[in-house]
Structure 1
Amino acid sequence: MAGFTQSQDLDWSRDGHDWPNSDASRFVRTRRILWHIQEMGDPHAPAIVLVHGTAASTHSFRDLMPRLAARFRVIAFDLPGHGFTEARDTQSLTPGGMADAISGLLRHLDIMPLAAAGHSAGAAVLIRMAQLGGVAPAQIFGLNAALEPIQGNALFQPLARVLFLNPLTPRLLAWRATLGGTDAMLRRATGSEIGTDGARCYARLFASRRHVRAALGMMAHWDLAPLQAALPSLDRELVLIAADDDPMVPASVSTRAAARARSATCIRFATGGHLLHEAEPDKIATLIEERCFSRASPESKDRRSA
């Protein structure tokens, strides 16, 4: 990533000028958080909220947002501590804490969304938000939703806590990101082809100590037991979209969740990887639009898409 050779926290005055969809960006302060948000579309159209996953930012929806904005008022934001959003405490890094923070932001903005889509851990946050009685859209879309502990979590989560508590860890990991190779690393880890612009943004994020610390904190405090326990009583329509070639979150996670939730559908793509919404924004936008503007009930618990 030319011109970006040392680890440093993201700064909007320096990094915002070429950030994807920067003309749609603004900053909003709530009680404990200074949020970076992006908004597109007709302000009178039905609203849809987009929530990214761990270690990502609004850039993850750089191509999906403009497509959805043709029919929706689209709102996306950087999660607490991620990207350009600043957070003051670690409570906002837990699933419940993030759910409360997002509900507070949407109430502050006076937005009651028709639908919401979350990628990976972002889907878990949206489901937890509905379970806790926060702002609850009628439809929740999970994009390769991370709804179960990762394999080896008994070892990984304590390790994440140790790394999170070590003040040198974010600095070292951010420094490592400046050495290059982000493009190849992303392809190996996610199985997705997302283009040079996406890789450039991830390289900047991974080189930010504050962003890395937030991502580690999110992993260290990630408890999905309450979400799983309350999944059968979820009273929202849940549409889980998964890629069979996702190496990070197996598609079977979405299939199992769809079988347990009250009103859920699992739609599986053969390819696309973990960053399916970045690799195939047209297909995901079309699917969301069709589901949102159709009154038909889910046809099945599990179906496949090309």
Structure 2
Amino acid sequence: MRALETAQEACRRLTGNACLELPHPDCCAVKKELHTTCPHCQVEYCSEDCREAAWLSHHQVLCLGSSRDDAEHPLNRMADFWRNVHYPPETCNIMLVARMVASIQQVPAQNPNELISRFHQFCRATVNEEEEIAHKLLGEQFKDQINTLCMMGNEAGLCKEQVQQWFSPEGFRSLVALIGTNGQGIGTSSLSVWVKNCEDLDLPEDEKRQLDAAIDRLYEDIDKLSGDFINCEGSGLYLLQSTCNHSCMPNAEITFPHNNSTLAVKALSNIKTGEEICISYLDECALERSRHSRHKILRENYLFNCNCSKCESQLDEADVTSEEEMEDEEDEIDESMG
């Protein structure tokens, strides 16, 4: 998940200005001279070590060779089909399933069960029987799509003896539920790293102010063309992080301090010995929404109702979503204006 484009390349793309030149290019951490490609399919890697690690762990199975750009290849069709069915592809990526299966197929034939056992440690329930909640990716309206994805996986040669149980209808549903429930969005940006490194420069005060102003203008130009989304986005499975429960008043948060796939859990307050570490499964915007809105998201994506202290304190709130509340307020305004 290291960014492959330099900060300057990212800025030129995000601003639409092909002539843009960033000051202090040494603050960019991307080392293009280390980049390499798979000799068979030309997929790019940040280094030879990364390419070799991928080849040994999963890429032998997933390498498309000369078919990399063939839209009709089953793996490409699988990824494209997923993007057209579910959102957001970057935080619940069907290709995680392909990589999991490929990793198992590439382990020594005598001991594939060790890796399978590790994946089985993730929560992969498709329904919460007690609460009668079904994962939103697995509702009846998605039954045909799930079956199509399973068929495409078979066509791509992913269904081998070691993982046949995952390619039954219920087995594949459990895989989709696993990535839907545990998949962690990963965002990396060479621009963000460049900005941070620029902030750490020891510069004269006037030069520092000029640089800060230039960075502010840069973000304004990016926002005009591309909005505030500047990350390269992916998804991953993290066994330890997935054991952290949710709270709408979390005492910790997920961070990616090295701008790659390395995840850290950072305390937001002093955590006492024996106190449970809780993170938020919701983004900052969703956390500010009504209790009913938060519960709706958590039920659809994670199959539970939250009983944290914040939710308990809001038990008397009306059971309407934030959107419904806004619609009611707009109706009241319209009536008063009328």
Do both proteins adopt the same fold according to a TM-score greater than 0.5, normalized to the shorter chain? no
Q: Which has the larger radius of gyration?
A: 2
**Structure ranking higher in strand proportion:** 1
Report the TM-score range of the alignment, normalised by the length of the smaller protein.
Answer: under 0.3
Give TM-score scaled by structure 1 length: 0.27
Give TM-score scaled by structure 2 length: 0.25
